[in-house]
Amino acid sequence: MPNIIVVGAQWGDEGKGKIIDVLSKDSDYVVRYQGGNNAGHTVVVGEREFVLHLIPSGILHRGKVCVIGNGVVVDPEALWNEIIELRKKGIKVNEDNLMVSDEVHIIFPYHKAIERLKEDRRGSSKIGSTGRGIGPCYTDKADRCGIRLADLFEKDMLYEKLKANLKEKNEIFRKIYNFKGFSFKELYDQYLNYGKRLKRYACNCSIILNDCIAKGKSILFEGAQGTLLDMDHGTYPFVTSSNATAGGACTGTGVSPNKIDSVIGVVKAYTTRVGEGPFPTEFPPDLMEQIRNKGKEFGATTGRPRRCGWFDAVIVSHSIRVNGLDSIAVTKIDVLDDSNTIKICVAYKYKGKLCENFPGDINILNNCEPIYEVYPGWLEDTSSVQRYEDLPLNARRYLKRLSTILKTKISIVSVGSKRTQTFYNNI
């Protein structure tokens, strides 16, 4: 099995968790490389549903090693709770199958507080953040005042860094936000304690993974969020604060690009997004309701209703280029089973001009008119289909058309949330 990066090619929630879970059985290591517990990856095993936020989706397969790479930001309380919850459900999680880079940056309560206060101030131009403190933690990382997992193991180091951080942050809280701030002693004791609990999981991610490659073992890199939420290549500023795209897998783990064999993008058969920001193919209210209910489109992390719309080939073509996608996995075909007509957006019209490439200017995305191709639906239940050949004719035509427009092969098709509702392909 080669080393594969799996990325979201839309605005997140494409079904990465499910695809990672399916591919995990043929991989030795599964690694998260960016983001934090803003992610919510749902995996269904038999009749049981698991929602993973920080721990790679490979954890549900025995014998796989899961690694949280240096590019991830970790809320230790959230990580600890996730470990405990999995154990309660009978999943083995210990230092044999979970490792955390000692270079991950740590989320503190002041990150969550400042995020909330900033979002409140933004008013109608808010980002719609999940409120997990992700952005402020990455801000500290870039500002070179961040606190990393290894710092939690060193009393004096944590003392010095936390003291300096809190001094400045509490001043900002009080002077700008009229908020009392945080007590040093409480946070210091609490985070030293997290350090003690998490020490056994700490690793040097780059060494572990490069050793594994040298031994001929294989790695699955699990992207969180999606390309359009990438800090550089997404719909900035309505993005997350990390590189969700394929390049992030290398910087976020210490594995070189020449060790990567393939990149797979996950797309939904339509589009969704949670939070604010432009969404050219967003449905009108009646269709929104229908697809949201059929697709159970509610956020796995915050429970917010997801905004839904038609498949947007302009954004997915952008994802294919930015990530160098070798193939795509198309999920949730079954959600379109009851649709009379199905649309694919192939370009945007802006001020009378046709725009076929994803624009950097967010004004264009906000004010463009999507240009659609319209196809008849298949009006048949696809949820038990096991082979491409057995899909209804119009479903095959839809997939074929997507593949032609995107100039990319479809390697996996998913028709339900279960492992068995998946088939490999070569469309």
- Cα–Cα dist 199/75, whole Å: 14
Asked whether 228 and 11 are in contact (CB, 8 A), the reply is: yes
- Which residue in the list 21, 26, 28, 41 is annotated as catalytic? 41
CB of 119 to ligand IMO, least distance (A): 9
Cβ density class 175-184: b for 16+ within 10 Å, e for less: eebebebbee
Query: Is residue 372 within a helix (H) or strand (E), and if so which, with residue range?
Result: strand 369-376
- Cα–Cα dist 316/269, whole Å: 11
Query: Which of 6, 15, 72, 399 touches ligand GDP by CB under 6 A?
Result: 15
CB of 212 to ligand GDP, least distance (A): 24
Residue 132 interacts, among ligand IMO, Mg ion, ligand GDP, none and using kind-specific CB cut-offs from 5 to 8 Å, with: ligand IMO
Taking CB under 6 A as the rule, does residue 411 contact ligand IMO? no
What six digits make up the tokens of 83?
């470990």
Which whole-number Å values give the CA distances from 40 to 36, 43, 98, 251, in the listed order? 9, 10, 18, 22
207 alpha-carbon distance from chain centroid: 24
Nearer to ligand IMO, 86 or 224 (CB): 224
Nearer to ligand GDP, 40 or 69 (CB): 40
Encoded one letter per residue, x for contact with ligand IMO by CB under 6 A and - for no contact, window 129-158 reads xx-x-xx-----------------------
Taking CB under 6 A as the rule, does residue 224 contact ligand IMO? yes
CB of 301 to ligand GDP, least distance (A): 8
Of 228, 239, 314, nearest to 275 (Cα)? 239
- Torsions phi, psi for 270 (to 5 deg): -135, -155
Residue 21 interacts, among ligand IMO, Mg ion, ligand GDP, none and using kind-specific CB cut-offs from 5 to 8 Å, with: none
Query: Which of 229, 266, 395, 406 touches ligand IMO by CB under 6 A?
Result: 229
| 13 among known catalytic residues | yes
The secondary structure of residue 298, as a DSSP letter, is B
Asked whether 335 and 291 are in contact (CB, 8 A), the reply is: yes
Asked whether 277 and 225 are in contact (CB, 8 A), the reply is: no
- Torsions phi, psi for 28 (to 5 deg): -95, -40
What six digits make up the tokens of 242?
């990390």
Taking CB under 6 A as the rule, does residue 328 contact ligand GDP? no
Taking CB under 6 A as the rule, does residue 275 contact ligand IMO? yes
Taking CB under 6 A as the rule, does residue 41 contact ligand GDP? yes
Interface residue list for Mg ion (CB under 5 A): 13, 40, 300
| 41 among known catalytic residues | yes
| Cis bond before residue 237 (omega within 30° of 0) | yes
Taking CB under 6 A as the rule, does residue 13 contact ligand GDP? yes
CB of 385 to ligand IMO, least distance (A): 25
Nearer to ligand GDP, 162 or 329 (CB): 329
Taking CB under 6 A as the rule, does residue 312 contact ligand GDP? no
By CB neighbour count within 10 A (0-12 exposed, 13-18 middle, 19+ buried), where does 140 fall?
buried
Strand, coil or helix: what is 191?
A: helix
What sign does the dihedral 41-50-384-340 (CA atoms) show?
A: negative
Taking CB under 6 A as the rule, does residue 417 contact ligand IMO? no
CB of 413 to ligand GDP, least distance (A): 8
Interface positions with ligand GDP (CB under 6 A)? 8, 12-18, 40-42, 44, 300, 331-332, 334-335, 414-417
Interface positions with ligand IMO (CB under 6 A)? 8, 12-13, 38-41, 127-130, 132, 134-135, 224-226, 229, 240, 274-275, 300
| Catalytic residue numbers, as ranges | 13, 41
